[in-house]
Structure 1
């Protein structure tokens, strides 16, 4: 199996695009080779089988979505209040939404995980770790709210992102900003309101 990290990343990025466009059934080594514009047979040199490719795509999605370390530090400059949480949630929704093909590929992976135990294990571990890391970051940084706040924001905003990327006419783009703000305000009571 070949070990050129840049080529592997390019193949995985191509696989993300194929998954988003064609769905899981369209994800073949040949389709990945065509999308990556590499010689026929290249993807099969990098991945043991289709399950391996699907699993590696799951890893790559999270790799590409990871925020820059400096961004996380800068996010905590200034007051740690509901307004800061609102800013962070707007950034999150925008960052995920701008990686449309990645999010759609992740949805395909989730569906495929209902039939593939190894993929299900990977996604369960990775998404659980992501939720736990978000809870830890939120609570340790002194932002208002608790673990339940983070989980509720995660659930509500993931569905908003899903609607935005798959059925954008349900909530027109000019409503997204206000909807994110409203979600935070309703889940995280502000000063003067009871928790």
Structure 2
């Protein structure tokens, strides 16, 4: 198994792009090699099979979606409030839009996980850990609301982003920022 970490990351990034453009069914070693601009057979030197590739694509997506060190601390500097929750949700949506391929790749992984129990178990573990950390951060920061508030925000933002990326005209030209503000104002209790 090849051990060049930069090449592995480039192959995984290419795999994310393939998934975003062609879906999980289009994810083949040949497609990854072509997208990465490497000789045919290169990715099979880095991943034993398609299941390993899918699993590592998921890990790479979360690496790319993780904010830079200190970015969250900076975002959390203002006084905890409903307005801050609105800004944090907008910030998160902008991050997802900036990594559109990753977010579409994550949709594809979710669909693929319905057919692959091992992938489902790993994806559930990672998403549950991320959600638990968001709940912990929300409560520790003294933000308005409780654990259920964070869960509802998660479900609402996930749904908004699914529509935003897959059927952007669905919201009657209402801006995503406006929809996020409406969602937060309906879910997060006033101070």
TM-score normalised to the size of structure 1? 0.95
User: 2:78 matched to which residue of 1?
Assistant: 78
The Cα shift of 1:174 comes to 4.8
> 2: distance between equivalents of 1:3 and 1:121?
26
User: 1:95 matched to which residue of 2?
Assistant: 95
Correspondence 1:60 to 2:60: yes
User: 2:130 matched to which residue of 1?
Assistant: 130
User: 2:16 matched to which residue of 1?
Assistant: 16
User: 1:118 matched to which residue of 2?
Assistant: 118
Where 2:149 maps in the other structure, the secondary structure is helix
**Aligned 8 A contact 1:97 1:164 in 2:** no
> 2: distance between equivalents of 1:125 and 1:153?
19
Where 1:78 maps in the other structure, the secondary structure is coil
User: 1:181 matched to which residue of 2?
Assistant: 181
Where 1:69 maps in the other structure, the secondary structure is coil
> 1: distance between equivalents of 2:141 and 2:69?
15
The Cα shift of 1:65 comes to 0.1
User: 2:7 matched to which residue of 1?
Assistant: 7
> 1: distance between equivalents of 2:15 and 2:139?
36
TM-score normalised to the size of structure 2? 0.97
The Cα shift of 1:100 comes to 1.3
Aligned length: 191
Give 5+ residue unaligned stretches, structure 2: none
> 1: distance between equivalents of 2:78 and 2:109?
38
CA offset digits 1:15-56 (Å, max 9, x no partner): 000011111111100100000001111100000100000000
Give 5+ residue unaligned stretches, structure 1: none
Calculate the aligned-residue CA RMSD, in Å.
1.1
